[in-house]
Amino acid sequence: MAYQMLSWHTAIGPIHLSKRCAVFVKSYVTHCVIMDYATGRRSFALWTTTKKSVADIIFDYSMRTALYVARVIHHDLVYGNAESWSWWRALGGDYRDGLIRILSNDDWKTGKAIDAKLLWALGNYSRFIRPGARRYDMQVFDTHGSLIKDGETEPYGLMLSAYKNQDGSWVVVAINYSEGTRTINLPLPDRKPAWKQYRTSDVTGENLRPYW
């Protein structure tokens, strides 16, 4: 069967609609396209793009937009099984979806550029999840050892997704949408020596900052 690709556009709206859209696409592919469960390959690749919210077009330097977009990415990858996720606007004027804000009065001949937290939030995915990586399902258990259904996705809490690169390295992206600190116990796959942690937050300068 010839290799095909389905592209869809994720509108930035209520998160439950994003999840429903992703689940619908995943369901469509599962039922309409031949799946090779032995190799994990499918004959239908899913590519996703997104665009800004029409409700607020003012450039946002903070984690507010960054966390929201990270949550959308999580749902598209985990529930929609998207194999690619692209952002439309890299830099420009006073737009909420810009990664870098350009301040110039002479058509960018002079001026300055200021990065947004959104740039770094996307980097938590793009820097570590390399081309050819595979996503793995995660299971979350409570303190009593009981499995929590959809525990890897708390829309207003903690969201987790795991990936394995072609070089054998593991990546886990953790999104904390809550106001407080969350603690997790993350067993190391393949007996790796230790996790290297990188954090992006509202703290000035804490952009993919390493902690280990």
Please report which helix (H) or strand (E) contains residue 114, including its range. Answer: strand 112-115
- If one counts every other C-beta atom within 10 angstroms of the C-beta of residue 162, the result is 19
CB 47 within 8 A of CB 86: yes
Report pLDDT for 55: 44
pLDDT range class, residue 165, cuts 50, 70, 90 = very high
Mean pLDDT of 93-107: 83
| CA distance between the termini of the chain | 46
DSSP 196: P
The model carries a pTM of 0.76
Q: Assess whether pLDDT exceeds 80 at residue 68.
A: yes
* Pairwise CA distance, residues 93 & 91, whole Å: 7
DSSP 53: -
| Contacts made by residues 203-212, CB under 8 angstroms, sequence distance 24+ | 207/115, 207/117, 207/119, 207/120, 207/123, 208/120, 208/123, 208/124, 208/127
Report pLDDT for 32: 33
Mean pLDDT of 77-82: 85
Report pLDDT for 107: 85
Mean pLDDT of 10-28: 53
CB 71 within 8 A of CB 155: yes
DSSP 128: T
Q: Assess whether pLDDT exceeds 60 at residue 83.
A: yes
